[in-house]
A and B are shown apart, each in its own frame.
Chain A
């Protein structure tokens, strides 16, 4: 079982560049999430999706965009990279119930210089 996969594992961007972080899950989960993790700050929710075609903002959405065209995929787009977006990004999925476990990918470490 692959679970939640993320690519790339590492990336260095220059200020102003754009990129897409990929996330795929094979558990047929309706709910998917993007978090960023900064040292000592825990995880902050960027965007989430409750199903194909439906997305919504989380706590820190500025500078990011998402789309959800299939159940499996939930890419995160950075249009104009800024140093403040240097972070570790995690994708997660769940079946959506409040009581359900979220399953996390291994993360993407992004540095913007």
Chain B
């Protein structure tokens, strides 16, 4: 069975500082990895996803993530954050195990708070 661990529940940073949100997964088969963002009082929207190929994936709003198979990680990074990046970020995984029936497994989320 697949699982996702987001190592930090809250990450406070100052505006224009770099940020890394950590995500580790476990799965015995090939995986597809996603980062979703939830702005206050809204639904989730896709930030980026890794399907195959280049391990560095670029998403919207200047975010990027790197897939590391040996460390089973998919950390999200941004070199310089803005106040508007304040949101909750969810890492999610789906895999080819056959029994997952196209379901996503979500991590518990990381609340990124950007302070002026």
Given contacts A97-B102, A99-B94, A107-B43, 11 further A-B contacts (CB under 8 A): A4-B43, A42-B90, A43-B90, A48-B101, A50-B102, A92-B44, A98-B32, A98-B95, A99-B32, A104-B43, A106-B43
- Give the shortest distance, in Å, between B93 (CB) and chain A (any CB): 10
> A40 at the A/B interface (Cβ < 8 Å)?
yes
- In the complex, how many residue pairs between chain A and chain B have their CB atoms under 8 Å apart? 55
In the assembled complex, the Cα of A58 lies from the Cα of B104 at a distance in Å of: 11
Interface of B is mostly: loop
Q: Are B43 and A58 in contact (CB under 8 A)?
A: no
Indicate the member of A31, A42, A50 with the most B CB atoms within 10 Å.
Answer: A42
Q: Are B43 and A101 in contact (CB under 8 A)?
A: no
Q: How many residues of B contact A (CB 8 A)?
A: 24
- Give the shortest distance, in Å, between A11 (CB) and chain B (any CB): 15
B-side residues, CB < 8 A to A, are 9, 32, 34, 36, 42-46, 49, 51, 90, 94-96, 100-104, 106-109
- Give the shortest distance, in Å, between A68 (CB) and chain B (any CB): 15
> A82 at the A/B interface (Cβ < 8 Å)?
no
**Category for how many chain A residues contact B:** 20 to 34
> A25 at the A/B interface (Cβ < 8 Å)?
no
> A79 at the A/B interface (Cβ < 8 Å)?
no
